[in-house]
Amino acid sequence: MRAREIHAVSTELLLNVTPQETRVAVIENGVVQEILIERANRRGLVGNIYKGRVCRVLPGMQAAFVEVGLARAAFLHASDVAAPGAQRERALAQSDPDAGNGGDAAAAAEAPAPRPVPDITALLHEGQELLVQVIKDPLGTKGARLTMHLSIPARYLVFMPGAVTVGVSQKIEDEAERARLRELVREFARRRGEGMGSCGAGNAAPADGYIVRTAAESVSEQMLIKDMEFLDRLWENMRRRAREALAPAVVHEDLALALRTLRELSGVELERIRIDSRETWRRAIEFTRHYIPEITDRIEHYGDGDERPIFELHGVEGEIQKALSRKVQLKSGGHLIIDQTEAMTTIDVNTGAYVGFRNLEETTFKTNLEATQAIARQLRLRNLGGIIIIDFIDMTSEEHRRQVLRALEKALARDPTKTHISNVSALGLVQMTRKRTRESLEHVLCEPCPTCAGRGTIKTPDTVCYEIFREILREARQFDAQRLLVLASPEVIDTLVDEESVGFAELEAFIGKPITLQAETQYFREQFDVVLM
- Residues 347 and 365 occupy one common structural domain: yes
- Residues 224 and 297 occupy one common structural domain: no
The pLDDT assigned to 7 comes to 44
Ordered mean pLDDT values, 10 residues apiece, the chain (533 residues): 50 92 92 92 86 93 92 91 53 42 36 64 92 87 89 88 85 89 86 58 57 85 85 89 91 89 78 93 91 87 79 90 93 91 91 70 89 95 94 89 93 88 83 87 89 86 96 91 94 95 93 94 94 90
- Residues 64 and 132 occupy one common structural domain: yes
- Residues 335 and 434 occupy one common structural domain: yes
Q: Are 507 and 476 in contact (CB under 8 A)?
A: no
| Domain membership flag for residue 44 | no
Cα–Cα distance measured from residue 354 to residue 352, given in angstroms and rounded to the nearest whole number:
6
Sheet (strand 157-160) strand order:
152-153, 157-160, 209-212, 166-168
SS3 275: strand
| Domain membership flag for residue 203 | yes
- Residues 293 and 426 occupy one common structural domain: no
The pLDDT assigned to 483 comes to 92
- Residues 104 and 79 occupy one common structural domain: yes
Q: Are 462 and 512 in contact (CB under 8 A)?
A: no
Give per-residue pLDDT as tens, 149-194: 999 988 888 998 887 788 998 888 889 999 999 998 888 887 776 6
Number of domains in the chain: 4
- Residues 292 and 379 occupy one common structural domain: no
Cα–Cα distance measured from residue 63 to residue 182, given in angstroms and rounded to the nearest whole number:
35
Residue 72: left if φ>0, alpha if ψ -120 to 50, beta else—which one? beta
Q: Are 171 and 98 in contact (CB under 8 A)?
A: yes
Residue 261: left if φ>0, alpha if ψ -120 to 50, beta else—which one? alpha
Give per-residue pLDDT as tens, 249-304: 999 988 889 998 988 876 677 889 999 999 999 999 998 888 788 889 999 999 76
- Rounded to 5°, the CA angle 341-343-344 comes to 70
| Domain membership flag for residue 500 | yes
The pLDDT assigned to 199 comes to 40
Could you tell me the CATH number of the domain that includes residue 85? 2.40.50.140
The pLDDT assigned to 249 comes to 92
Distance of CA 300 to the CA centre of its chain: 28
Instruction: Give per-residue burial for 16-26: e unless 16+ CB within 10 Å, then b.
Output: bbeeeebbbbb
| Domain membership flag for residue 264 | no
Could you tell me the CATH number of the domain that includes residue 333? 3.40.630
Q: Are 528 and 464 in contact (CB under 8 A)?
A: yes
| Domain membership flag for residue 451 | no
Question: How many other CB atoms are found less than 10 A from the CB of residue 420?
Answer: 11
DSSP letter for each residue of 310-324: GGGGGGHHHHHHHHT
Q: How many CA atoms lie less than 13 Å away from 55 in the CB half-sphere?
A: 13
- What single DSSP character describes residue 46? T
- What single DSSP character describes residue 44? -
- Residues 181 and 64 occupy one common structural domain: yes
- Residues 150 and 212 occupy one common structural domain: yes
Range of the domain at 120: 49-255
Q: Are 207 and 189 in contact (CB under 8 A)?
A: yes
- Residues 505 and 364 occupy one common structural domain: no
Distance of CA 79 to the CA centre of its chain: 21
Q: Which of 255, 281, 296 is the last residue of a domain?
A: 255
The pLDDT assigned to 355 comes to 64
- Residues 136 and 170 occupy one common structural domain: yes
Question: How many other CB atoms are found less than 10 A from the CB of residue 490?
Answer: 12
- Residues 60 and 125 occupy one common structural domain: yes
Q: How many residues are given for the chain? A: 533
| Domain membership flag for residue 263 | no
Distance of CA 462 to the CA centre of its chain: 41
Type of residue numbered 409: E
The pLDDT assigned to 108 comes to 36
| Domain membership flag for residue 7 | yes
| Domain membership flag for residue 176 | yes
